[in-house]
């Protein structure tokens, strides 16, 4: 038993502790007797880290052993037991309490005992040989220790201090700490603490190192542990509270300028100072860096963008400046200012708890996607990895804090082991559900599908629930066996776009509104006459007349109506064109004007060179671009098309540097190549309508430029070549060729005359 205790001490301290010294230490700690040794050994068997991470619920011999080891010069190898109530380590923790072994001061504050003077139960602070126990109230009011202060004149409890070879009575405020000779530096200064060496001043005193409850490092603490909360070191400590200005719970401090009110860091009043980086007079966010005062934008820029130090060459946050004007890190400046993540070691961009923004993002993503067992759902592991490694982690954090889709994703991951398209289809198809589906498809958690077509089916399923039984008997066959069936056929060919889904939805909606009009006129569909239809045509909007044509043709074909005549939509000739000079000027702007956004330059050039529609351009993928010794090519449909060198360089730059504005970057695979113009998320293409509006703002019209390009190509290339190279339907290519072969000059001149 004793031998095991000696061996434990030698293993903990090291080879410098001999067996005889270990026995002597145990004897001084009163842990050598069989009962004490047996009790201590049983506790250490239950708590193997008792010497380095002691528990307050321990036998009395353990704190005595720790203090004896420190007095013997082995304090670096052990951790002193602190009081669980006040958190101090310099006091003897020998009094058992429900919180563990506490110091005598904390126990005395909680124990009420009868005072020998007043007879009341109170906090006993001293004892006299004549009277016995004296409570705090009687001690403070003792006339022998109260009187006027020699400096300020206030009446109260005084302390006796030496001054010019005489004793003076001073109050607590004026007395301060007594001046004595420091045992280390030898200067006469106020005593900060008493040590085995003797009194120490504030310069020489160093607080004992203790275990930080957050980072696990043994270092000096900024806040002692109290009421079961662990102590926190300076690196992990943040003072939090409710700001009296903005009302938010944030990091801050009590401000003397604001009368002691708690203020967060942004609301804390600071005098304006000149920033050493931007040179403007602003409220300085940091003034303790060697480089000088920094405003908030410059401070955040330096903190988030580490650069190589001009002295050591290591990439760190530059907090100083060398003699030649180069930036220097904290180590080269002689300071301990370091913004390296305590977990991964990445320099800069520390967000909280000493961790960088990427580590914090990974933790919060893990909490978001955790199941009932606290672990990330295996099916969502690709999404968790994509969010944790996103190129802009701060955007991911903002999304986690504020987005309804993040809350929906957390609910789904907590309640379902697997998330499927069918599960999302049963939810309201709002923006949050759409965004969650896009994220899961983008990270390949869900398979990619023709979402526009599936949303059409879901929309009709919800719409049909509110229709009368008489209407659903007619609308359901029309929608499912005519509109949706044709849409499914086009979706299987991969040619079903948002515009096509909108048109199909309008046809179904127009049929529903037409049936409602029949009810308002007290008419049946089977009794509909041509005069009734003509009446509706005069009252309906243009969009309704166009959309309802499919329904009337379907009812005629099914025999529900008697061969009603419905005015067809005339094929209009194109009327918007550009003359050759204007067309060439706009093309030159797209290829050479660096002030235009890169993606708009590419889109504008593709329209003016090849007549591609925007709906085709936004679906172009990067695998269609390739280069060889003869030049650069882009495959728009079946065969590669040789690109002008300037346009090839623009596309190459877009592939290399162009990124989606979404938080998640592209996750391209062979089945799902990366889009040339990624949207949000990167797996979704950009909106054609948004691109058209941006082009118009920069003076680059879309329809007129495309018409001009198609006419030019139709006059130079056969329709079959135009169809194979650019994906134009053969009938459309033939119509443009016929238009180009006609008296094109006369048509254009007549069109200008009309304008």
610-642 per-position pLDDT tens digit: 888 888 888 888 888 888 888 888 888 777 888
Say if strands 166-171 and 179-181 run parallel, antiparallel, or are unpaired: unpaired
Residue 125, φ and ψ in degrees, nearest 5: -110, -20
Per the CB < 8 A criterion, the answer to whether 244 and 257 are in contact is no
Say if strands 146-148 and 132-135 run parallel, antiparallel, or are unpaired: unpaired
pLDDT digits (tens, 9 = 90+) for 475-533: 999 999 999 999 999 898 877 888 889 999 999 999 999 999 999 988 888 888 888 88
Across the range 287-300, mean pLDDT stands at: 85
For residue 615 the two structure tokens come to 């709906």
For residue 536 the two structure tokens come to 């509706």
| Secondary structure in 3-state letters for 587-629 | HHHHHHCCCCCHHHHHHHHHHHHHCCCHHHHCCCEHHHEEEEC
pLDDT digits (tens, 9 = 90+) for 67-81: 888 888 887 788 888
What is the reported pTM? 0.59
Going by the DSSP 8-state scheme, the letter that residue 448 receives in this structure is: -
Task: Please state, in angstroms and rounded to a whole number, the distance separating the CA atoms of residues 212 and 120.
Answer: 42
Task: Please state, in angstroms and rounded to a whole number, the distance separating the CA atoms of residues 502 and 507.
Answer: 9
Helix (H) or strand (E) holding 221: strand 221-223
Helix (H) or strand (E) holding 28: helix 19-28
Please, what sign has the CA dihedral across residues 8, 12, 15, 18?
negative
Across the range 286-313, mean pLDDT stands at: 87
> Is the pLDDT reported for residue 52 higher than 70?
yes
Other beta carbons within 10 Å of 632:
19
pLDDT digits (tens, 9 = 90+) for 98-120: 888 888 778 777 778 888 888 88
Task: Please state, in angstroms and rounded to a whole number, the distance separating the CA atoms of residues 432 and 369.
Answer: 16
From the list 479, 526, 486, the residue with the least C-alpha distance to 505 is 479
Instruction: Spell out the residues 6+ positions from residue 238 whose beta carbon is closer than 8 angstroms to its own.
Output: 251, 352
Q: What percent of the chain clears pLDDT 90, i.e. is strictly above it?
A: 10
Task: Please state, in angstroms and rounded to a whole number, the distance separating the CA atoms of residues 522 and 532.
Answer: 11
- Which class for 657: exposed (0-12), middle (13-18), buried (19 or more C-beta within 10 A)? exposed
Which three-class secondary structure state does DSSP give residue 370? strand
CATH topology of domain 580-754: hpI Integrase; Chain A (1.10.443)
Provide the pLDDT confidence category of residue 419 given band limits of 50, 70 and 90.
confident
More confident residue, 158 or 398: 398
Task: Please state, in angstroms and rounded to a whole number, the distance separating the CA atoms of residues 611 and 587.
Answer: 12
Average pLDDT score, the chain: 82
More confident residue, 740 or 136: 136
Which three-class secondary structure state does DSSP give residue 143? helix
What does the CA dihedral 271, 276, 277, 282 come to, rounded to 10 degrees?
10
More confident residue, 728 or 504: 504
> Is the pLDDT reported for residue 751 higher than 80?
no
Task: Please state, in angstroms and rounded to a whole number, the distance separating the CA atoms of residues 408 and 419.
Answer: 12
What does the CA dihedral 634, 704, 550, 567 come to, rounded to 10 degrees?
-150
Helix (H) or strand (E) holding 97: strand 93-97
Provide the pLDDT confidence category of residue 23 given band limits of 50, 70 and 90.
confident
Residue 324, φ and ψ in degrees, nearest 5: -90, 5
pLDDT digits (tens, 9 = 90+) for 237-282: 777 788 888 888 887 877 766 667 888 877 877 778 888 888 888 8
From the list 130, 134, 108, the residue with the least C-alpha distance to 120 is 134
Which three-class secondary structure state does DSSP give residue 655? helix
For residue 465 the two structure tokens come to 């629930």
Per the CB < 8 A criterion, the answer to whether 390 and 396 are in contact is yes
Per the CB < 8 A criterion, the answer to whether 683 and 609 are in contact is no
Helix (H) or strand (E) holding 93: strand 93-97
pLDDT score at 748: 53
How many angstroms separate the first and last alpha carbons of the chain?
109
Q: Enumerate the domain spans of the chain.
A: 2-80, 355-448, 468-558, 580-754
Cα distances (Å, whole numbers) of residue 629 to 421, 633, 649:
46, 11, 15
> Is the pLDDT reported for residue 743 higher than 50?
no
| Secondary structure in 3-state letters for 567-592 | CCCCCCCCCCCCCHHHHHHHHHHHHH
Strand partners, 161: 168
More confident residue, 12 or 600: 600
Across the range 413-427, mean pLDDT stands at: 86
Interior angle at CA 625, CA 624 and CA 626, nearest 5: 120
Per the CB < 8 A criterion, the answer to whether 446 and 440 are in contact is yes
Which three-class secondary structure state does DSSP give residue 111? coil
pLDDT score at 47: 85
Instruction: Spell out the residues 6+ positions from residue 431 whose beta carbon is closer than 8 angstroms to its own.
Output: 404, 405
What does the CA dihedral 544, 546, 551, 557 come to, rounded to 10 degrees?
150
Task: Please state, in angstroms and rounded to a whole number, the distance separating the CA atoms of residues 552 and 464.
Answer: 19
More confident residue, 660 or 244: 244
pLDDT score at 613: 85
> Is the pLDDT reported for residue 712 higher than 50?
yes
| Secondary structure in 3-state letters for 374-436 | CCECHHHHHHHHHHHCCCCHHHHHHHHHHCHHHHHHHHHHHHCCCCCHHHHHCCCCCHHHHHH
Going by the DSSP 8-state scheme, the letter that residue 678 receives in this structure is: B
For residue 211 the two structure tokens come to 């275990």
Please, what sign has the CA dihedral across residues 148, 154, 157, 163?
negative
pLDDT score at 611: 83
pLDDT score at 569: 66
Provide the pLDDT confidence category of residue 349 given band limits of 50, 70 and 90.
confident
> Is the pLDDT reported for residue 355 higher than 80?
yes
């Amino acid at each position: 038993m004793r031998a095991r205790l000696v061996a434990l001490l030698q293993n903990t301290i090291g080879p410098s502790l001999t067996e005889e010294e270990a026995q002597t230490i145990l004897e001084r700690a009163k842990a050598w007797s069989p009962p004490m040794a047996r009790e201590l050994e049983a506790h250490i068997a239950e708590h193997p880290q008792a010497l380095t991470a002691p528990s307050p619920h321990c036998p009395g011999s353990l704190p005595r052993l720790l203090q004896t080891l420190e007095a013997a010069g082995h304090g670096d190898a052990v951790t002193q037991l602190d009081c669980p109530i006040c958190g101090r380590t310099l006091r003897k923790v020998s009094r058992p309490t429900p919180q563990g072994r506490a110091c005598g001061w904390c126990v005395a504050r909680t124990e009420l005992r009868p005072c020998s003077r007043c007879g009341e139960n109170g906090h006993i602070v001293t004892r006299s040989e004549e009277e016995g126990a004296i409570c705090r109230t009687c001690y403070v009011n003792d006339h022998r220790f109260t009187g006027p202060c020699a400096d300020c004149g206030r009446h109260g409890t005084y302390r006796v201090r030496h001054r010019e070879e005489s004793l003076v009575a001073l109050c607590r405020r004026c007395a301060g700490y007594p001046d004595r000779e420091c045992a280390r530096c030898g200067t006469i200064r106020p005593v900060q603490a008493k040590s085995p060496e003797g009194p120490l001043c504030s310069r020489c005193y160093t607080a004992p190192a203790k275990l930080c409850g957050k980072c696990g490092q043994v270092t000096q603490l900024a806040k002692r542990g109290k009421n079961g909360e662990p102590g926190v070191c300076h690196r992990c400590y943040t003072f939090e509270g409710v700001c009296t200005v903005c009302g938010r719970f944030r990091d801050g401090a009590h401000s003397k300028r604001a009368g002691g009110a708690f203020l967060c860091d942004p609301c804390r009043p600071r005098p304006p100072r000149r920033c050493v980086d931007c040179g403007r007079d602003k409220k300085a966010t940091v003034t303790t860096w060697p480089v000088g005062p920094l405003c908030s934008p410059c401070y955040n820029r330096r903190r988030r963008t580490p650069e190589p130090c001009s002295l050591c060459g290591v990439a760190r946050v530059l907090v100083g400046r060398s003699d030649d004007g180069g930036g220097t890190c904290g180590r080269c400046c002689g300071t301990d200012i370091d913004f390296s993540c305590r977990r991964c070691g990445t320099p800069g961009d520390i967000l909280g708890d000493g961790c960088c923004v990427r580590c914090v993002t990974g933790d919060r993503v893990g909490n978001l996607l955790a199941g009932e067992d606290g672990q990330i759902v295996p099916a969502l592991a690709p999404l968790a990895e994509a969010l944790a490694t996103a190129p802009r982690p701060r955007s991911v954090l903002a999304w986690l804090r504020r987005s309804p889709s993040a809350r929906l994703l957390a609910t789904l991951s907590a309640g379902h082991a697997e998330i499927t398209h069918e599960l999302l289809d049963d939810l309201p198809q709002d923006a949050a559900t759409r965004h969650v589906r896009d994220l899961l498809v983008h990270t390949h958690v869900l398979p990619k599908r023709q979402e526009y077509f599936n949303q059409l089916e879901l929309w009709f399923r919800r719409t049909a629930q509110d229709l009368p039984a008489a209407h659903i008997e007619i609308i359901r066959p029309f929608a499912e066996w005519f509109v949706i069936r044709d849409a499914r056929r086009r979706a299987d060919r991969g040619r079903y776009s948002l515009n096509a889904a909108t048109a199909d939805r309008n046809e179904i909606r127009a049929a529903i509104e037409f049936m409602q009009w029949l009810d308002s006129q007290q008419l049946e569909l089977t009794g509909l006459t041509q005069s009734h239809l003509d009446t509706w045509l005069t009252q309906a909007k243009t969009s309704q007349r166009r959309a309802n044509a499919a329904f009337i043709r379907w009812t005629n074909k099914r025999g529900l109506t008697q061969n009603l005549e419905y005015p067809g939509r005339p094929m209009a000739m194109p009327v918007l064109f550009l003359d050759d000079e204007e067309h060439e000027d706009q093309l030159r702007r797209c290829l050479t004007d660096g002030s235009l956004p890169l993606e708009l330059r590419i889109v504008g050039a593709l329209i003016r060179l090849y007549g591609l529609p925007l709906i085709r351009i936004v679906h172009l993928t990067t695998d269609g671009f390739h280069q060889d010794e003869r030049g650069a090519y882009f495959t728009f449909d079946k065969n590669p098309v040789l690109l002008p060198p300037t346009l090839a360089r623009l596309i190459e730059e877009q592939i290399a540097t162009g990124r989606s504005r979404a938080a998640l970057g592209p996750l391209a695979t062979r089945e799902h190549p990366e889009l040339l113009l990624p949207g949000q998320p990167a797996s979704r293409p950009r909106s054609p309508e948004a691109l058209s509006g941006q082009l118009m703002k920069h003076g680059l019209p879309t329809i007129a430029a495309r018409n001009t390009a198609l006419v030019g190509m139709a006059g130079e290339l056969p329709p079959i070549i135009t169809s194979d190279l650019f994906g134009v339907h053969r009938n459309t290519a033939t119509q443009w060729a016929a238009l180009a072969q006609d008296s094109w000059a006369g048509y254009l001149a007549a069109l200008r005359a009309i304008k």
